[in-house]
């Protein structure tokens, strides 16, 4: 028993939760001393409820990863500040061919705030020395960001009807979705913090720590903590620097060689975190990190060289989320592709549609948008969204007319029509769709031409292009997107504009045959 006591570095008292004022003030200062003082003050009050039960049990609690714990309910607030440079490829053509290997740098900075309640479900009947997290639910109080790219500011904010989300491992990453309303692509990025709070306890050791202990954070744990595709080498270590008033302060230092978005990335991590006793296990209550990351350019996103400053404060709290830990664990075992659909939102083109998360808006303008389906850093398909010249009210393009236009546009590249359908979408638009097989420069190509229109004469074309070998991975992506397509109201006409069209740049284009997207250079 003496050996067990010597490894105990946390008080058996369960302190009262920090007040909202203490909670926010501690985060704003971002100092370990602030939280330590708040905990010390809280410990001078008489414990009540579960706190009194924990104190009376005289149970020794160790600084170690949770084990045989079913759930943990917390409130967390994260402030992220980013400065650095984006790297993009100069002179990229519409087809995706790279005309230059140079990567000009673009100055970028940003700040985001995420404040939420979280219920974390841990694995039951874990065979190892710890119970890893399997799923989580969040209820956001605040989620907003402002970014500056080349001096131009953009803001994003989570919609109130998407405030409650589920966080599950999906295709190797922890990702969020909303049960009641699909997140849009900007909201997905907003909620993607560089620190996964559901996995914070993976920072703790597998064996009980002594007051002067040092331990390594494994590659697998670092992958979940920083939400990376893979960690190939982890030199990340944690060392207890002090224990005071029932709070352990731990220094976190090291580097990660990893993969993110299917491209190499390197993280240099420097900071501290604090640990104290919760009702069921030791938990991380404060974290302050400086992360320097160098990530290569991918087909979906720019590369970057940035410095991220992360401040997190966290306390045990009733998550006020009406789902059990057992139900969360069951969600993690369900296979439901529909939950991962996102709403692609074109501000310039004034439309939305649902797609899977492999699609990214590559270029957006009032007249034409280019979207790319990217998987494992390979472009599977490209979609050109073109606003077409309007017809007279009541007029409609026929399938025969569309096919005649396609034959003329493709010329010698045309092979045959493989499939043709007409229907009304769930959003009340008339859709005519035809699949075309052919070739360009002796390369087999498949095109999908989809024409959408309404009774007012407004119309639009979605032209999907892919290599003949990519059709299986592409699946029915075009039908999902076209079937959910909705026009947004036009923006108000700018003051002083003489045009009757509130979007004068979007006067319409004609259908054009597109080359297939180029595969990335190896």
- CATH for 465: 3.40.1000.10
Residue 519 domain-assigned? Answer: no
Same domain for 64 and 159: yes
Instruction: Classify residue 493: in a domain, yes or no.
Output: no
> Does residue 357 form part of some domain?
yes
Q: Are residues 371 and 289 in the same domain?
A: no
Q: What is the CA radius of gyration of the chain?
A: 27
| 3 state SS for 227-279 | CCCEEEEECCEEEEEEEECCEEEEEEEEEEEEEECCEEEEEEEEEEEEEEECC
Residue 317 to residue 450: CA distance in whole angstroms:
51
Say how many domains are in the chain: 2
Same domain, 271 and 404: no
Q: Give the single-character DSSP code of 468.
A: T
CB 166 within 8 Å of CB 174 = no
pLDDT of residue 394: 80
Using 70 as the pLDDT threshold, list the residues of the chain that sit under it: 1-61, 90-103, 493-522
Closest CA to 320 of 446, 139, 102: 139
Domain shared by 266 and 134, yes or no:
yes
Question: Of 337, 359, 384, which one is at a domain's C-terminal end?
Answer: 337
Q: Are residues 252 and 391 in the same domain?
A: no
The answer to the question of residue 509 being in a domain is no
Tally helices (H) and strands (E) across the chain. Answer: 10, 23
Same domain, 345 and 394: yes
Domain identity same for 326 and 359: no
Pair 227, 205 in one domain: yes
The reply to whether the predicted model has a pTM over 0.85 is no
Domain-embedded: residue 505? no
Domain co-membership, 419 together with 318: no
**349 and 300 part of one domain:** no
Instruction: Give me the pLDDT at residue 237, please.
Output: 98
Q: Which domain holds residue 429?
A: 341-487
Question: In which region does residue 58 sit, left (phi positive, over 0), alpha (psi from -120 to 50) or beta (all else)?
Answer: left
Distance, CA of 215 to CA of 248 (rounded, Å): 14
269 lies in the same domain as 349: no
In the prediction, which pLDDT does 42 show? Answer: 33
Structure tokens given for 392: 């007279």
Domain boundary among 337, 353, 378: 337
Q: How many residues does the chain have?
A: 522
pLDDT for 50-79, tens place per residue?
A: 333 333 333 445 799 999 999 999 999 999
Determine the Cα–Cα distance for residues 113 and 191; give it in Å rounded to an integer: 9
Residue 415 three-state SS? strand
Mind listing the pLDDT tens digit for each residue in 146-203?
999 988 999 999 999 999 999 999 999 999 999 999 999 999 999 999 999 999 999 9
Predicted pLDDT at 125 = 83
Last residue of a domain, one of 295, 312, 337: 337
Does some domain include residue 521? no
H or E element: which one contains 401?
helix 399-410
Q: Are 67 and 127 in contact (CB under 8 A)?
A: no
pLDDT of 47 reads: 35
At 74 the pLDDT is: 97
Residues 303 and 349 in one domain: no
Flag whether 496 is in a domain: no
Q: Residue 88: what pLDDT?
A: 84
* 18 within a domain of the structure (yes/no): yes
Pairing of strands 164-170, 247-260: unpaired
């Amino acid at each position: 028993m003496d050996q067990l006591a010597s490894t105990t570095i946390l008080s058996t008292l369960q302190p009262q939760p920090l007040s909202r004022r203490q909670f926010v003030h501690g985060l704003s200062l971002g100092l370990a001393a602030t939280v330590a003082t708040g905990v010390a003050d809280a410990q001078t009050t008489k414990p009540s409820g579960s706190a009194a039960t924990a104190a009376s049990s005289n149970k020794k609690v160790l600084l170690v990863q949770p084990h045989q714990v079913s759930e943990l309910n917390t409130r967390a607030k994260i402030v992220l500040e980013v400065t650095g440079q984006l790297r993009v490829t100069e002179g990229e053509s519409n087809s995706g061919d790279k005309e230059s290997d140079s990567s000009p740098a673009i100055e970028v900075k940003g700040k985001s705030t995420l404040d939420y309640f979280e219920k974390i479900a841990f694995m039951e009947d874990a065979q190892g020395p710890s119970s890893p997290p399997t799923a989580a639910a969040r209820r956001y109080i605040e989620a907003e960001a402002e970014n500056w790219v080349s001096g131009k500011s953009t803001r994003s904010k989570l919609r109130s009807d998407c405030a409650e989300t589920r966080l599950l491992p999906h295709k190797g990453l922890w990702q969020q979705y909303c049960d009641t309303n699909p997140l849009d692509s900007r909201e997905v990025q907003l909620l993607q913090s560089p620190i996964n709070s559901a996995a914070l306890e993976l920072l703790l050791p597998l064996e009980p720590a002594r007051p002067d202990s040092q331990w390594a954070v494994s590659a697998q744990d670092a992958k979940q903590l920083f939400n990376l595709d893979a960690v190939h080498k982890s030199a990340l270590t944690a060392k207890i620097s002090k224990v005071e008033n029932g709070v352990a302060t731990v220094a976190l230092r090291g580097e990660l060689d990893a993969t993110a978005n299917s491209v190499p990335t390197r993280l240099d991590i420097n900071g501290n975190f604090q640990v104290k006793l919760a009702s069921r296990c030791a938990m991380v209550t404060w974290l302050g990190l400086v992360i320097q990351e160098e990530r290569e350019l991918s087909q979906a996103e720019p590369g970057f060289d940035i410095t991220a400053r992360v401040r997190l404060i966290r306390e045990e709290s009733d998550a006020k989320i009406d789902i059990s830990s057992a139900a969360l664990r069951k969600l993690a075992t369900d296979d439901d592709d529909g939950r991962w659909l996102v709403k692609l939102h074109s501000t310039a083109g004034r439309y939305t549609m649902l797609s899977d998360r492999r699609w990214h808006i590559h270029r957006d303008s009032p007249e034409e948008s280019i979207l790319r389906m990217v998987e494992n850093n390979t472009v599977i398909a490209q979609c050109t969204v073109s606003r077409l010249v309007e017809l007279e009210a009541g007029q409609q393009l026929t399938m025969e007319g569309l096919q005649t236009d396609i034959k003329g546009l493709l010329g010698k590249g045309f092979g045959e029509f493989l499939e043709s359908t007409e229907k009304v979408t769930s959003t009340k638009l008339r859709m005519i769709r035809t699949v075309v097989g052919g070739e360009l420069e002796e390369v087999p190509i498949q095109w999908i031409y989809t024409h959408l229109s309404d009774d007012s004469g407004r119309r639009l074309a979605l032209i999907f292009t892919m290599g003949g070998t990519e059709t299986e991975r592409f699946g029915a992506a075009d039908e999902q997107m076209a079937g959910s397509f909705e026009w947004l109201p036009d923006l108000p006409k700018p003051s002083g504009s003489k045009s009757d069209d509130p979007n004068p740049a979007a006067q319409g284009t004609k259908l054009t045959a597109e080359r297939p997207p180029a595969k990335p250079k190896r």
